Structure 1
């Protein structure tokens, strides 16, 4: 059977016909229902797309991992879009992205509705006292692992420390990230920071036309919000900016979101934001789905829809637009150095946020012991969903 060439996309070598966009959506919808574990979901995406359905070759999938880890956005969501892009072009990318993210959006929306109507109940108060302690432990654990993976040289640690200090002094995190990127160009001169890969058949070196249309429609939507509802417009712009700068996976978006939503706009206090992060841990999909929670509390259902669309759109557009050029881009010293500088700065931003979250918790002996137990469970590599579920049950009893 002759392999179909996906319209508006980049067909990779594969051993099966190009799937329909509907088939891609259905496969990723089923996968998205059980998409717990964040980046760990990449293994399940590989099993489905490479081993079972043979939509991609092993080499093409590995190249996708390199691309998605080097660009902004949640890695698992980006990998879903990459598989769809390679299998069926831009249509496939939209189908896989929407299918993979839809279960997380619906569940987080339901939890946000429940939270807004019941957070004053004694049982819910007890639950979220424990969840806030767990959030401190989870973010601290993420900071440690992020720093361990990134901080391989003294320069990385220096950049991380400077970023944390600047954030503490009230400097905009976006300015910190841009400064770290510029510093990275001069500090990290090794051009071979990313593994080499072969250029794929069909990598024509041009942006697919459908994504240009998609970008125009997205811009029209933002302009429409400006005239229709100024608060929704601000929410959209903030989430768009966060996603565009969130290199290093979903957790990298949290310091930026915290700054914008809590510090800059004052839409909620730190404890409420921590509650949103906690709910994000019991939903499938990336932690950045916290944007749905924020959007609902700010502007109801419309806010949840706008915030969710905005937090995922820039990284999706960047992935689709950059993929044809990535083999040439990734081996340039400037790109490699800037990316490394940005990732180092996120270690500092995560560290700052860990301290802010810890200060916000009214600590007592029971919470300290509870937090130590959570840290121990995470250090033993216990599944984070299991930690949150067990911890939630214990919170109701203890607090």
Structure 2
């Protein structure tokens, strides 16, 4: 019994990164219940990560603080929703592949159900009557300021050197004139390549041993990216929508708001049929729902193809990134130890700040230049930037003020 306790303590201090090593046993039902309950009350990926750390590191000591910080660092290095990527890795560290699937499903289920339910009621005449053009414009202004404050904070944290500033500015210019998914893929590839070539460190081979299944997984992900990047004839846009969405998910770094221009390229087209109003309202209300800001995907999926569309859209966006983060987890130490790779990732993350800037631009050009919207923008900027109020409180205040104005103004 004493030897078994010593072995378990050693495992917790140095959690395994290789799937072939058996992690500490933990009930799958308990894992599902904890992650589900934390995801249901977490607004944004950062909140979910904080609650998972509090439970599994501080309360149950399933992982050490250093091990959990490694999970968070890797989640930022790969594309996709950061909070869900951390949950998937946590499940993998505790119960292997089955734990990764259970934790991933539990982290997605709350916002999937809520946003799909909202999409159902969105089709009713009552919602269309309430969602007037004035209210949509005010909500768009709040969303734009929320993204703008996020862009400001990310720029201060990620964009520092000349090369990083050049990557961010050039990416903004390229995104402003981009009309296809290929431009987004090209921007990320160029930013990563520039960071790799400009690294002051000497060339060190990135030696990563791959199994045959790993190679097949990477090939499948590369094929999805190619489907998203290549221009397609009009009929194939709807036929290949879900594979293209999966490929688009492989280009999303730096948080959910960076997805706005990418997802707009996919869904707001004549072939798919999602309107600009549908798209803007979904992103405006995404901070009101638990989960990462990519919780809008089930909403769009339902508008396209009902319940089946909501389910397939969610799987298409979240499963590939979850598979990739589990694969990368086994090689985390080798990647972090390579200075050229780390420098390339810094430039890549600097380039992704352009997605936020362009998202603000897309919103700003559609809002009329009227004093009421400037007042809303000023109010939202103060709430988010200075007072750090939650998004739902700002939306509630603006919605109430707008309703009173429409009723009595």
**Per the shorter chain, which TM-score range?**
0.7 to 0.9
- Give the TM-score, by structure 2 length: 0.82
> What does residue 252 of structure 1 align with?
258
> What does residue 42 of structure 2 align with?
35
Judged with a 3 Å threshold, the aligned counterparts in structure 2 of structure 1 residues 257 and 119 are, in CA distance, closer, same or farther, namely farther
Point out the more displaced range, 356-365 or 385-394. Answer: 385-394
1:304 matched to 2:310: yes
Q: What is the alpha-carbon distance in structure 1 between the residues aligned to residue 271 and residue 164 of structure 2?
A: 31
Judged with a 3 Å threshold, the aligned counterparts in structure 2 of structure 1 residues 271 and 48 are, in CA distance, closer, same or farther, namely same
Q: What is the alpha-carbon distance in structure 1 between the residues aligned to residue 190 and residue 153 of structure 2?
A: 23
2:237–2:272: 8 Å Cα contact kept in structure 1? no
Root-mean-square deviation (Å): 3.2
State how many pairs are aligned. 375
1:97 matched to 2:111: no
Q: What is the DSSP-based 3-state SS (H/G/I as helix, E as strand, rest coil) of the residue aligned with 1:268?
A: coil
Q: What is the alpha-carbon distance in structure 2 between the residues aligned to residue 91 and residue 168 of structure 1?
A: 42
Q: What is the alpha-carbon distance in structure 1 between the residues aligned to residue 360 and residue 101 of structure 2?
A: 34
Question: Structure 1: 5+ residue runs without aligned partners?
Answer: 192-203, 220-228
> What does residue 325 of structure 2 align with?
319
1:347 matched to 2:353: yes
2:257–2:359: 8 Å Cα contact kept in structure 1? no
By how many angstroms is 1:132 displaced? Answer: 1.4
> What does residue 176 of structure 1 align with?
187
2:36–2:109: 8 Å Cα contact kept in structure 1? yes
2:245–2:317: 8 Å Cα contact kept in structure 1? yes
Q: What is the alpha-carbon distance in structure 1 between the residues aligned to residue 310 and residue 31 of structure 2?
A: 25
79, 82, 85: which one aligns with 1:75: 82
By how many angstroms is 1:306 displaced? Answer: 0.9
154, 164, 167: which one aligns with 1:156: 164
245, 249, 256: which one aligns with 1:243: 249
2:163–2:347: 8 Å Cα contact kept in structure 1? no
1:9 matched to 2:15: no
Judged with a 3 Å threshold, the aligned counterparts in structure 2 of structure 1 residues 12 and 338 are, in CA distance, closer, same or farther, namely farther
Q: What is the alpha-carbon distance in structure 2 between the residues aligned to residue 12 and residue 57 of structure 1?
A: 17
By how many angstroms is 1:101 displaced? Answer: 1.2
Describe the superposition over 1:98-134 as per-residue Cα deviations: whole angstroms up to 9, x where unpaired: 1111001100111111223247643222543322121
Question: Structure 2: 5+ residue runs without aligned partners?
Answer: 203-207, 224-234
> What does residue 32 of structure 2 align with?
25
Point out the more displaced range, 232-241 or 370-379. Answer: 232-241
Aligned residue runs from structure 1 range 1-399, under 5 A: 2=4, 9=19, 18-118=25-125, 121-125=128-132, 126-170=134-178, 172-189=183-200, 233-262=239-268, 267-379=273-385, 380-399=387-406
Judged with a 3 Å threshold, the aligned counterparts in structure 2 of structure 1 residues 338 and 358 are, in CA distance, closer, same or farther, namely same
2:81–2:294: 8 Å Cα contact kept in structure 1? yes
1:295–1:306: 8 Å Cα contact kept in structure 2? yes
1:177–1:345: 8 Å Cα contact kept in structure 2? yes
Judged with a 3 Å threshold, the aligned counterparts in structure 2 of structure 1 residues 252 and 330 are, in CA distance, closer, same or farther, namely farther
1:207–1:321: 8 Å Cα contact kept in structure 2? no
Point out the more displaced range, 24-33 or 119-128. Answer: 119-128
By how many angstroms is 1:205 displaced? Answer: 6.5
Describe the superposition over 1:37-72 as per-residue Cα deviations: whole angstroms up to 9, x where unpaired: 331332111001112222212221111111111111
Q: What is the DSSP-based 3-state SS (H/G/I as helix, E as strand, rest coil) of the residue aligned with 2:268?
A: helix
2:81–2:255: 8 Å Cα contact kept in structure 1? yes
Q: What is the alpha-carbon distance in structure 2 between the residues aligned to residue 352 and residue 103 of structure 1?
A: 29
Q: What is the alpha-carbon distance in structure 2 between the residues aligned to residue 356 and residue 12 of structure 1?
A: 48
> What does residue 226 of structure 1 align with?
none
Q: What is the alpha-carbon distance in structure 2 between the residues aligned to residue 154 and residue 271 of structure 1?
A: 38
Point out the more displaced range, 137-146 or 327-336. Answer: 327-336
By how many angstroms is 1:150 displaced? Answer: 1.0
1:69–1:248: 8 Å Cα contact kept in structure 2? yes
Q: Which has the larger radius of gyration?
A: 2
